Chains A and B, each alone.
Chain A
Amino acid sequence: MPPPAYRALKLCSNGGGFEALPLDSKPIDLPRVRVALERAGVAVVDARVMLIASLEPETTISRSGRLLFKTADERAARRALERFLALLGSTGPEPPRPASRPT
């Protein structure tokens, strides 16, 4: 499965989490993502239109490829993104931008 590439992380509007948006708008194959995560021992809640993975921090994976990391700690969010991409065999995100601002 070709994993998506991501833009840099940004703080979400309520300031409680970081989100990562895919570079292209192609939907991702959630059932296959779920299998890949569960094979790696990551617990997943499957709501069909999204997955919620215990990636430390807990992460919401939307069908659009959008990821939401439930932490206000950018480093923790970055670690979770890297782990997610490693599990899916991705090339990794773009380098971070200088500052994260609420959207």
Chain B
Amino acid sequence: MARGVMLMSGGIDSPVALHYLLRQGHEMYAVHLDNRPFTDDSPLEKIVDHLRLLRERYAQAIPLYVLPHGPTQVTLMRSTDRHVGCVLCRRFMWRGAERIAERERATFLATGEALGQVASQTLSNMRSATASVQLPIVRPLIGFDKAEIEAVAKEIGTYGISTRPGVCCQAVPDKPATRTDLVQILREEERVDVEQILDDCVRRAVVM
């Protein structure tokens, strides 16, 4: 079995995706990009509770890396086109996860993405976002519909945690791009110092 890094958001999907990978016997690490002050404390609290359940269920440590993402969002908002903000945000999330994977010698990244659920989860946006990393990306829920994911979440006990009240991400633009091309994204990204942002983010990571 392989060692992987799972991106966790606090939503319904990521703990279900993690559940499937743990069930297959993979050794998993969790990474959360902490969006405060563009959200409240609730995503992190939910992830801590998700992991408590899954650690117990699968008798795995599942270390959680929390990376500060708010400063990255501020930089992106100040310097880049808001229209493509969600894709740029995702690119930095993937890069942060890949840095942790390198540190932990993990060989794949994973996410709870399913096609077509939210604006950032179109095929062109996924391609634009994931072109920022080299490691293979596993998406256990890619073909699931929402009802299927919710049914599993209820079965494993994470649904009630995921649906607790919380403030939505305030960094989401009014009209997020649903179709992006990589050339456009790379042009926008040239406006910021990618390596500096990542170095700052990973240096301030906290393990829980």
Contacts and interface: CB of A to CB of B under 8 A. Distances in A.
B149 to A, nearest CB: 18
Contact of A12 (B78, B82, B167): B167
Given A52-B37, A52-B38, A70-B40, A12 B77 contact: no
A12 B168 contact: yes
Given A50-B170, A58-B37, A60-B38, 20 more contacts: A15-B165, A15-B166, A16-B40, A16-B165, A16-B167, A16-B168, A17-B40, A17-B167, A45-B74, A47-B73, A47-B74, A48-B77, A48-B78, A50-B77, A52-B38, A58-B40, A60-B37, A62-B170, A70-B40, A72-B165
Given A16-B40, A17-B40, A49 B167 contact: no
A27 to B, nearest CB: 12
Contacts of B40: 16-17, 58, 70
Interface residues of B, number: 16
A58 B168 CA distance: 14
Nearest to B42: A16
Interface of B: 37-38, 40, 42, 70, 73-74, 77-78, 82, 165-168, 170-171
16 contacts: A12-B167, A12-B168, A14-B168, A15-B165, A16-B166, A16-B168, A17-B40, A45-B74, A47-B73, A47-B74, A49-B77, A50-B170, A52-B37, A62-B170, A70-B167, A72-B165
Interface in A13-31: 13-17
Contacts of A52: 37-38, 170
Contacts of B77: 47-50
Nearest to A48: B78
Interface residues of A, number: 19
Contacts of A48: 77-78
A17 B40 CA distance: 9
Nearest to B41: A70
A81 interface: no
